[in-house]
Amino acid sequence: MTYEELMQKAVEASKNSYSPYSKFAVGACVMCKDGSVYTGCNFENSSFGMTICAERNAIGTAIAEGKRNIKAVAIYSPNQQNCAPCGACRQVIHEFCDNDEDVDIILQNGEELKIYTLAQLLPESFNL
């Protein structure tokens, strides 16, 4: 699947966002190394700490299907260009990849895609 197709799936997922408090919709599409893809959207809760980001939602779905090896994550918000993952999502992505240099984070910048490696967005990551 191309990165453009992953982004289109993230765009579609953002339409299902439940974000009545922030009004900040986000969609994500995770591609695993085997080519399987999983989407997610953010969903909020009036107890703000219970809010789940789109990226973690998509990764959780992949995990529920037995997948543990992320290759790429496309993230989209109609509210902001280059909507990058938060720190918590960066760490969760790190948990489910072999090498941060091998994971692409795909962001929408107008009509163009902007691609970073996870290593660029999460330098000096840690493992237990």
Please give the single-letter amino acid code of residue 22.
S
For the stretch 19-41, pLDDT in tens is 999 999 999 999 999 999 999 99
What is the pLDDT confidence band of residue 128, given thresholds at 50, 70 and 90?
A: confident
Mean pLDDT of 36-55: 96
Alpha helices (H) in the chain, listed in sequence order: 3-14, 54-64, 87-95, 118-121
C-alpha distances in Å from residue 6, one per residue of 21, 30, 76, 111: 27, 8, 10, 14
What is the pLDDT confidence band of residue 125, given thresholds at 50, 70 and 90?
A: confident
Residue 126 has pLDDT above 90, yes or no: no
Which residues are catalytically annotated?
55
| List of domains in the chain | 3-121 (3.40.140.10)
**Cβ pair 89, 40 in contact under 8 A:** no
For the stretch 85-118, pLDDT in tens is 999 999 999 999 999 999 999 999 999 999 999 9
